[in-house]
Structure 1
Amino acid sequence: MNGIVAAFAATGLYYVGFAIFKLAADRMEPVRANRLPHMVWVILTNWIFLAGLALVLGGLGLQILALTKLSLGIAVPIFMSGVLPLLVIAMIFFGDRLTPREWLSLALIGTAVGLLTLSVGRPPPIEAVDVPTWKMAVVVVPAIVVPLLINMFGDHRPDGRHARPVTGIAYGLSSGFPVGTAELAIKGWSDSSSQGLGVLSTPYPYVTVAAAALGFGIMVAGFQRCRVSIVAAVMTVAAKSYLLVMGAFMYAEPWPSDTSHFAMRMGALALAALAVAQFPRHRPLGEGPVPAPEAVPPVQDVFGSRIPRPRAPLAPLAEPPLAAPHPPPQTPTPTPYRGDPLGRGPYGHYDSGNPTENDQR
């Protein structure tokens, strides 16, 4: 199979699989990385997720085939292009709606993909490279350990009645770097001189499985809480940028030597970083809390009813208290001070010039 065809086919399988991950995320109980065994059990026992995983594994096989024939400079723009059909799927099937600022970020991502494509130039031939252990450790360990610790010790969406829902940037970054690490291992897998089962003696299959499992788990948690278009777009930018930059470091794949192609590649990476940086971190205040998805009747939903997510519902408006009835007016009781405009009381008061009994004393 042609390498470019294999790359496009791998990308298509990947993002259709990610869309199925979203269907699975809406139909499983909430998962959190600080409850890792529970998270693994819930995800791996969901048959919808396993169906999506089968497609993603098919894309994995095609990606290995593509990277045996293509350099990273050619393959990465093809892999990044898959976010566009996923965006269409998210809007049509999942009802995602974006703000103008989010549309601007996606436009910057599209421009970055175009610049990456133009920066290819004349890539060098593919050569197998033996990666030293220290290089692999420098690239792999931070990309796996840091997202795992972030998700285990703090959730990205604060709970509470008045908490503002997040857009999913943190989930996209936390899943993108492990996925990019898995693709780096796939690149080493495709370049390895070991054939057949001999590749099991290399670290590439094990790094691929561990990094992909972590990235997919965080992705499912993000799909439960945020819009798939935002999580998937940020994940794609983070994963492919990490693949391109660290791939040159690990596998000694040179970048364009002429000034124009080098500038376009640097400009593409800068635009991708700017797109992620200017994504809003929270949903607009005017939108209010995100409503929980309505359960779809089993007759209409072949995948089973979705589990409503615990959101921050608006407090019901309290009925205004009824005003207490005004008591009827009462006639004041006559007192000795009635008719005393100065309020001096009976002492020292003269009536018609005659002193009172107390004054006579």
Structure 2
Amino acid sequence: MTGLVVALLAAVVYTVGLTVEQRALHGSESISVNRPLHLARVLLGNPRWVLGCVFAALGSVGLIVSLGLAPVSVVQPAFAAGVACGLLVMTLVLGERITRGEYVALGLMPVALGLLGLSTADGGETGTTADTPLLVGVSVATVVACVAVVAFVGGRGRYVSAAAMGAAAGLAQGSAGLQGKGLGGLLSDHGLWNAVLPALLSPFPYLYALGWAVGIVLFQTSLQRSRASITAPVSNVVGNVFMVVAGTLLFGESLPDDPVLLALRVGGFALTLVVVVLVRGNAASAEADTSRKRAASLPRG
């Protein structure tokens, strides 16, 4: 249960970061993955975006800690559910409208978290080590595939929607999450200070940086095209599915043996995926609405 609580607290901090990033981006110049230097200048030259990024990074550190305390099939869905729920709450607080489906998603999130929490009644087994070469191969292949597909589609002159780019960002960030799971395992096995050297000698922090960098470029581009309550759930749920499936297999974690607890775990995980179905139908209109707001707010030259 400790891992679940830490994951939820990390989600709160991460949500604050995303909200600050979103509001900073909606008042900035347009960015594109096809202009990486311009993208870096716009992002790093925006103090509000940098502040939001710091909060998001702190939330990610909390997620790494929680992954060393509980199974990935509990922590990752809880984190994703917390972020999605938090973003919808922030949307309401900021006075923006959300759809009926998003209200339903908001109501489903506490249920999903409750099911996940109940499924840990038997303690469960938390995997802390994985087959490193296999983990590296899966992670690198995923990141390369995300970049290649987006570049190929965009290079042929086709428009890549915010939701599609958010999904690609989710896969890249999911690969980073696998490295976070590895780092969390080192923290759990060795303690904070004793884990520093093994972590630096492992591929985890470097592959984490690679997946995070690719994911954030794709995600920030999608975030500017639509509001966070549309793009973030798509990104989080896609990354959620990838990380839970790959992480459970790579780290040798077993699901609950008790049929009731297994049903609770699967049910809680499934409910976090429902968010995509509920918000995807409104993605196009939200993206168009965001574009109109940005066009009206940017200075005319």
TM-score tier, shorter chain, comes to 0.7 to 0.9
TM-score when normalising by structure 1: 0.68
CA distance in 2, matches of 1:116, 1:209: 29
Q: Give CA deviations for 1:262-311 in whole Å, capped at 9, x if unaligned.
A: 233334444444542462165359x889523377xxxxxxxxxx6369xx
Aligned length: 290
**Contact between 2:70 and 2:126, CA under 8 Å: does it hold in 1?**
yes
How do 1:1-361 residues align onto structure 2 when only pairs under 5 Å count? 3-79=3-79, 80-93=81-94, 95-104=95-104, 111-138=111-138, 140-155=139-154, 168-192=162-186, 195-277=195-277, 279-280=280-281, 283=284, 290-293=291-294, 307=298
Give the drift of 1:211.
1.0
| Separation (CA, whole Å) in 1 of partners of 2:290 and 2:25 | 19
Q: CA deviation at 1:78?
A: 3.3
SS at match of 2:245: helix
Provide structure 1 residue ranges, at least 5 long, that are not aligned to the other structure.
Answer: 160-164, 296-305, 310-361
**Separation in 2, partners of 1:88, 1:64:** 24
User: How much does 1:185 deviate?
Assistant: 0.8
- Higher alpha-carbon deviation: 248-257 or 52-61: 52-61
| Greater helix proportion | 2
Judged with a 3 Å threshold, the aligned counterparts in structure 2 of structure 1 residues 217 and 124 are, in CA distance, closer, same or farther, namely same
**Residues 144 and 107 (structure 1), Cα distance of their counterparts in 2 relative to 1, 3 Å cut:** farther
Distance in 1, Cα, partners of 2:272 & 2:6: 25
Q: Residues 288, 59 of structure 1: CA spacing in aligned structure 2 closer, same or farther, 3 A cutoff?
A: closer
In the TM superposition, residue 22 of structure 1 has moved relative to its aligned partner by 0.5
Identity %: 27
Higher RCO (CA-CA < 8 Å; seq separation 6+) = 2
| Secondary structure at 1:254 match in 2 | coil
String of CA shifts for 1:306-352, please: whole Å, max 9, x gaps.
6369xxxxxxxxxxxxxxxxxxxxxxxxxxxxxxxxxxxxxxxxxxx
CA shift for structure 1 position 174:
1.8
Amino acid at match of 2:142: A
What letter matches 2:169 in structure 1? S
Residue 38 of structure 1 deviates from its aligned partner by: 2.8
The 2-side partners of 1:201 and 1:5 are apart by 30
CA RMSD of aligned residues (A): 3.4
CA shift at 1:226, angstroms?
0.8
Higher radius of gyration, 1 or 2: 1
Distance 1:69 1:55, change over 3 A: same
83 and 146 in structure 1: CA distance in 2 versus 1, 3 angstrom threshold: same
Matches of 2:17 and 2:283, distance apart in 1 = 27
In 1, Cα distance between equivalents of 2:134 and 2:43: 33
Deviation at 1:202, TM superposition (A): 0.6
Q: State the TM-score, normalizing by the size of structure 2.
A: 0.80
Quote the Cα distance in structure 2 between the aligned partners of 1:127 and 1:32.
38
